[in-house]
A and B are shown apart, each in its own frame.
Chain A
Amino acid sequence: MYTTTQTVNTAPIHPFGQEIVPTVLTEQTVKAAVDSFTKICGAVEVIDDDPTDFAHGKKIDGIISFVGDITWSLILVLPFRSAEMMAQKFAGFEIPFDSEDMGDVVGELTNVLAGVLCGGLESVGVHSQMSLPTVTSGSDFEQLMSENLITQRLFFMTNDHHFMVKLVVARHK
């Protein structure tokens, strides 16, 4: 079980010129994912290595962008089985992967994660405003990122199902 840290590296919060995602974003994202999905699904564990190949198979992505002190995006990646489990836990009833409601729920799950994350960032002095969620689903796909973007992938596990949160931050030109 991951224990969230109380000390947060708030400086530097500006990503320009850095080749890594700012620490404050990574730390607050991990904390927000653990806090919000623990409330929805039960215990959430942080995993160090990529447990599965997230590029292959059926999956659904929820994407939210942020503006404010840092401009960045967050992608919640849910493989087919994980999506069905989390949707059931969140909505309280079964939602088939291919149904219209699945997009609705994944958008809402991404929204919840982003909202908790915004609150966490605000508590350490980082102001951000989030967009509405966008949802993409299908098989064997991956979101393409420009070379001017820095990405970081964070892996989690809950109820024997994996999910990933991908952070995307602009690199200074």
Chain B
Amino acid sequence: MVIDDSRVMRNMVMQTLQQAEVANFVFDEAGSGSEAIGKFDADKTDIIFVDWNMPGMNGIEFAREIRAMKWANHIPIVMITSESGQEKQQNAYDKARITCYVTKPFTVDEIREKVGPVIEDLQKKRDRTAAPAPAKAAPPPPKQGGGFFSKLLG
């Protein structure tokens, strides 16, 4: 899901993610934090890209809402913003528990470098969940002869 109040910016984020070839994305878009909350479906969302400065609910408030949802708080949130100060970035990590931070303007290489590991991690978690459970040792065969049922059945 890509959330930014600028339509051009949303297109740029989606285009750059496609060019970075870190995953095959199917995008969902929202123009504000509140619109995104309304559209949000945890079962259909693998990763969220959100702008910080938006009218109404901003990116930090949106991220905090998602982190408060027990069924959705595992979804990675990438903050894409022009806020470049170290203190502000740290605040975003601390207060909104975002997964990673990309500053505008960004390049395809920067997106690949920062978002690539997040996607890899996501894939590993998915593989772990999808892998079949290790086979349990077969239970020992019932003892023959001498048991209660053997005696009963003759």
Contacts and interface: CB of A to CB of B under 8 A. Distances in A.
Interface of A: 36, 39-40, 90-92, 95, 101, 104-105, 107-108, 111-112, 114-116, 118-119, 121-123, 130, 132
B103 A115 contact: yes
Contacts of A132: 53-55
Contacts, number: 60
A165 to B, nearest CB: 15
Contacts of B87: 122
Interface stretch (B78-86, B127-135, B136-144): B78-86
Nearest to B8: A104
Contacts of B54: 132
Contact of A105 (B8, B53, B81, B86): B8
A92 B54 CA distance: 23
Given A119-B85, A122-B88, A112 B12 contact: no
A31 to B, nearest CB: 12
10 smallest beta-carbon distances between A and B, as pairs: A115-B82, A119-B84, A122-B85, A119-B85, A111-B82, A112-B82, A104-B8, A104-B6, A115-B83, A115-B84
A114 B8 contact: no
B32 to A, nearest CB: 12
B31 to A, nearest CB: 11
Nearest to B89: A119
B15 interface: yes
B9 interface: yes
12 contacts: A91-B8, A92-B12, A95-B8, A101-B7, A105-B6, A112-B82, A115-B84, A115-B103, A116-B84, A119-B84, A122-B88, A123-B86
A107 B6 CA distance: 9
B104 interface: yes
A36 B85 contact: no
B6 A118 contact: no
